[in-house]
Structure 1
């Protein structure tokens, strides 16, 4: 069965979260930690977790936020070793969906690292839980779609703490909560989910720029 026609209840999701030295790889920031969870049908299939030596000092404000120090990363593997291991964990592009909270952020770092290492980034289907949450949850239910806010709303057992694996675990629980609500939108397959996400992102861009009152 093609991934697109797979029912959401049988789809395999790889939920990933990164910690980094800054906001953008285009400004010299690098990955310091990768955490990921693989799930299908609500069942946890495995975890991936590793520090990454960014080969540059961590800004103080990042250490204050994450608790990750230069000393903790001194003997950690570099991205050259970790990215191939992560891609092996994630699996084939036609078998899994990559999920992240504010996915453009995480994917920008992963794709930038792949480019630097001359690794062809797989053509994964990707999903941003922020985009889905904004479309299925009203402002009466949540004041914003920050990870901490959604974790509180869904009552996740793992609390976000700016550490990659814990944040990935919390995002996984949020993903399951969102998927449960998508049935009322007649979203039951991977293709329908991708189309819903695409439409939701378009609507949100229109609202952001004041082009629509929807």
Structure 2
């Protein structure tokens, strides 16, 4: 299990949800370990009050070959990454988006683990944003009988999202934004209007 910032918690204290900037991040990688694998694609969408503020989507040269099974899953080939920027050129933009934001990801320990490892390797300070995992939030908010699986694709279908996840970073980040908004609507219906975040 990857160490990361604690899961965001909600209560009646703190910044109103409409005023919170959420930076929704999705990464594609060469494998599942932030210690031995590398990032191949970054997608990030910043939203506040239900409106999109900015987006970032780019392939990343991982410096290693992409395994065949990962190419089958994501469609990202070694040829596609030939002229992609290295992570060192992409990471500053990602960190700029995260500062002052709540980092949101589906299976957040995975994405946060890779980003923190990248900061360590590239000697960049980790901004330490509060973290919200939409998979964990969905499990807490949705009854199992209503939605037995909290996979991103399942949640997107359940909520009738316009974006279909496809294991590409920006598409999946956009789908996660839609899922997040549906989950926050559920929380609002429960009377929760603000997050209490721990850095």
TM-score by length of 1: 0.84
- In structure 2, the residue matched to 1:13 is 22
C-alpha change, 1:91 and 1:143, in structure 2 (3 Å) is: closer
Matched-pair contact (CA < 8 Å) for 2:98–2:129: no
- In structure 2, the residue matched to 1:136 is 141
- For 2:192 and 2:66, the matched residues in 1 are separated by 42
- In structure 2, the residue matched to 1:199 is none
- For 2:127 and 2:177, the matched residues in 1 are separated by 21
Runs of 4+ in 1 over 6 A off after TM superposition: none
Secondary structure of residue in 2 paired with 1:174? helix
1:77 aligns with 2:82: no
Alignment counterpart, residue 167 of structure 1, candidates 161, 169, 172: 172
- In structure 1, the residue matched to 2:67 is 59
Secondary structure of residue in 1 paired with 2:193? coil
| C-alpha RMSD of the superposition | 1.3
- For 2:192 and 2:121, the matched residues in 1 are separated by 37
Matched-pair contact (CA < 8 Å) for 2:98–2:127: no
- For 1:36 and 1:91, the matched residues in 2 are separated by 9
User: Greater Rg, structure 1 or structure 2?
Assistant: 1
Alignment counterpart, residue 181 of structure 2, candidates 172, 176, 180: 176
Ranked by relative contact order (alpha carbons within 8 Å, sequence separation 6 or more), the top structure is 2
Give how far 1:10 is off: 1.7
Alignment counterpart, residue 101 of structure 1, candidates 94, 101, 106: 106
Q: Aligned pair count? A: 186
* Structure 1 residues without counterparts, runs of 5 or longer: 196-214
